[in-house]
Amino acid sequence: MPTNAITGLPFTPYAYGAANLGNLFREISDDDAEEILHTAWDAGVRYFDTAPHYGLGLSERRLGAFLATKPRDEFVISTKVGRLLRPNPEGAGSLDTENDFCVPATLKRVWDFSAEGIQTSLTESLERLGLDRVDVLYLHDPEKHDVNAAIDEALPALVSLREAGTVSAVGVGSMSTEALLACATHSDVDLLMIAGRYTLAEQPAAADVLPVCHDKGIGVVTASIFNSGLLSTENPSAGGRYDYGSVPPELWERVLAITDVCRSFDVPLPAAALQYTLRDSAVRSVVVGGSRPTHLRQNAEYMNSPIPEELWTALADRGLIPA
């Protein structure tokens, strides 16, 4: 599979987002997790993204155990900072379902955007991963804590780690275009992970965030490109999940129209959704999750499916994507 590069890092266009390895929504076994990762590797994935948040460290541990069997120079790995994992005695006997993860709630997430907190988070992630370094470090969900603290404290700490050679690239991962724009404008980041705000169904990040990325040479990684599953099948359902909630009626009508155009060109909706954001030159990789090996194999096929240029023209002509 071809690669795109920024700061010397090879990013495969199709990347694996490892939230499901943290038992997102449902429990999976260690054997199932290993099979998922083997399938991703065999499909050509060489960029893997995780976070302490995903299953209270379970995702990092499972991903690290798998990558320990692979040559270190053959993959790119990113994790995230901003939340520290600390003991939670009150959670004994319960699960972390409040945060959508089916894992024991014996730990809790504690926000910490200080330089010390950023370094501590990285150190603890490396211990869970069993690696001596990660390639990319993202500040995770700054809009859920404090964007000003992100700009004033966390991001300068990340840049210092990059300048010291501890990591190769730093960035911000967020579902908020406002937070992404503020961080891109007021900091020296290499990458933005845009989650759900630049997809085939909706493109709010295209208006403000992407122009700044082009101007400053910031790379983009898109995530949640299926809008929490809405675009993941050829026959979408109005009862599907969208941003962990219900699908807004206006968006549903838009998805129906996009689906009709895709069918007229005999292109599966998920294939168009996977390939759409890569049409922008700032986009380096598309991070996709998956809790079953069949999902990963199918997505790899969709990523390589031929799509005629006329489909994108038809979508633009109908005002369904920006011209």
pLDDT of 239 higher than 90: no
Strand pairing partners for 138? 80, 171
- At 107-140, the pLDDT tens digits run 999 999 999 999 999 999 999 999 999 999 999 9
Cα distance between residue 9 and residue 21, in whole Å:
24
Rounded average pLDDT over 169-181: 97
Cβ-in-10-Å burial (0-12, 13-18, 19+) of 58 comes to buried
Is domain 9-317 classified as CATH 3.20.20.100? yes
Across 28-33, average pLDDT: 97
Both tokens assigned to 266: 């005999």
Strands 14-17 and 283-288 turn out to be parallel
- Residue 243 confidence (pLDDT) above 80: no
Domain boundaries, the chain: 9-317
What lies within 8 Å, CB to CB, of 240 at 6+ separation is 228, 229, 230, 247
Q: Is the pLDDT of residue 2 over 50?
A: no
Q: What would the mean pLDDT of 207-219 be, rounded to a whole number? A: 96
Query: In terms of C-beta density within 10 A (0-12 exposed, 13-18 middle, 19 or more buried), how is residue 26 classed?
Result: exposed
Please identify every residue annotated as catalytic: 54
Q: Give me 45's structure tokens.
A: 């994935």
CB atoms closer than 10 angstroms to residue 94: 12
> Rounded to an integer, what distance in angstroms lies between the CA atom of residue 196 and that of residue 268?
20
